[in-house]
Structure 1
């Protein structure tokens, strides 16, 4: 005996017609008849008298009907209560430092409107730390731009991004002729900390092309790096999204990067065994369609 059996039984009792009950529940009449027979076999009692084409509820059927009303009502209350509880459990959302500076606040504002009442606890860490926190179930979802190492994580790409080389207008590197990648040899750069996806991408591309560089500072904050470059203390390779305004205002210059591509993918990541609530699924879906609502993104930038 299942909840479905009781729902069918209630419909037959209320309509006193199996055809009408089938229409009300959007199932076939034979399915209605079978369910009633299964109930009668289960209890060993006759629930309906059949007189010609008419049916009448027996005393046993009336007794069961009262239980059926209470059971189905309790199930509905449980469904409503548990679904409302979903919004009471905060979603733990992490973001890498770059993504935190580029779009995390906009995502939180977007979800505040789309998921009213749903609390979202946000954290910013580098890629390595985010991966560890996902593995330890200290985060539900994370927005990451770096490479992942764990096979237990599911990563869905949602936005392309690219690093660009920047320098202050008065910096000699802004006036240097850069026609091939090795014209960048020994460039003085400020780097992000170890474990950063930005640093990993920069180091990998430079090493792949055997381009030596001089480290003049290591910061765990892209804004601090940007200020150091504006102050003419060195150069840096940061997301173009982070420095676009300063470039347009003339505070920074972009350096040519002949033969080099520092493109990467922003991903939303979760543990492959994670139970995704409807609210978590909604956040994932909104990230995958981010070009439809995030200012400054365009069709084709999404994945």
Structure 2
């Protein structure tokens, strides 16, 4: 059985809005007609997609799986529509950007603001996640452009370095290693570590470094956000590797202390990633050109 895209669009609208009435308004269909269409769709699939609640609709487990697919499908459709609308003029259009945590939090906001001052008619959406999520989103055409700080493991992606940064090993001022003038990698064996989540390019780099140094991690607490990780480090949660761009003030005011172990520092590249062979609308080229001629390298 081939899935009916009209039915899928109705399902997606209900999943996104959480109610029949709101979905009916979104797809311009009456509520009774939309309910019939949904019932027919569930019958064709042989599964129940929603739990009918007194106030709204809740996805069942099959519904959650289908929603993951529909979200990706309609994100690609939106990107395709934007590309067709915008490929004549850099002064208009839509940029859909994915960025890993450090670049998306500390680098791109300023650059996006600068770009918008020159091209105010260009709409920009920015997703911030980990390197794996961003690379997959570029490959799937959900993002027209990606910015990452770690190794790429997704096929069909081309990367170009645009800046560099250092991952700084830090601890809170009261940490036992904070007062040391000299230490070795073995001194961190068994100590608690603060890390990004699996799929993070930062975590992959740190894990490989520890392997090379034969250093043994203690307990690990995972964070999906660099700022949350930094706050945990400041409050004595353990050893963390944080982007140099994010800890300048914290090192100056003494709330964080750099570990005196030079071999634990990691230099890494920030890269622009695109889908190999993909057509780039003028707005994308203008944004990339601005980054390549900006002073980002001297501030990161």
Gaps of 5+ in 1: 1-80
Secondary structure (helix, strand or coil) at the match of 1:213 reads coil
Secondary structure (helix, strand or coil) at the match of 2:231 reads helix
Task: Please state if 1:298 is matched with 2:281.
Answer: no
Measure how far apart 1:117 and its partner are. Answer: 0.8
Count of residues paired in the alignment: 215
Contact 2:96 2:126 (C-alpha < 8 Å) held by counterparts: yes
Task: Please state if 1:150 is matched with 2:150.
Answer: no
Q: Deviations over 1:67-113 (max 9, x none)?
A: xxxxxxxxxxxxxx9735x6553110111011112112111111111
The residue number in structure 2 matching 1:73 is none
Task: Please state if 1:91 is matched with 2:95.
Answer: yes
Q: 1:266 aligns with which of 261, 266, 270?
A: 270
Task: Please state if 1:203 is matched with 2:221.
Answer: no
The residue number in structure 1 matching 2:136 is 132
Counterparts of 2:294 and 2:87 in 1: how far apart (Å)?
Answer: 30
The residue number in structure 1 matching 2:217 is 213
TM-score (norm 2): 0.67
Q: 2:235 aligns with which of 227, 231, 236?
A: 231
Secondary structure (helix, strand or coil) at the match of 1:83 reads coil
Gaps of 5+ in 2: 1-85
Secondary structure (helix, strand or coil) at the match of 2:245 reads helix
TM-score (norm 1): 0.66
Task: Please state if 1:105 is matched with 2:123.
Answer: no
Q: 1:141 aligns with which of 124, 145, 152?
A: 145
Please tell me whether Structure 1 or Structure 2 has the larger radius of gyration of its CA atoms: 1
Q: 1:244 aligns with which of 248, 273, 292?
A: 248
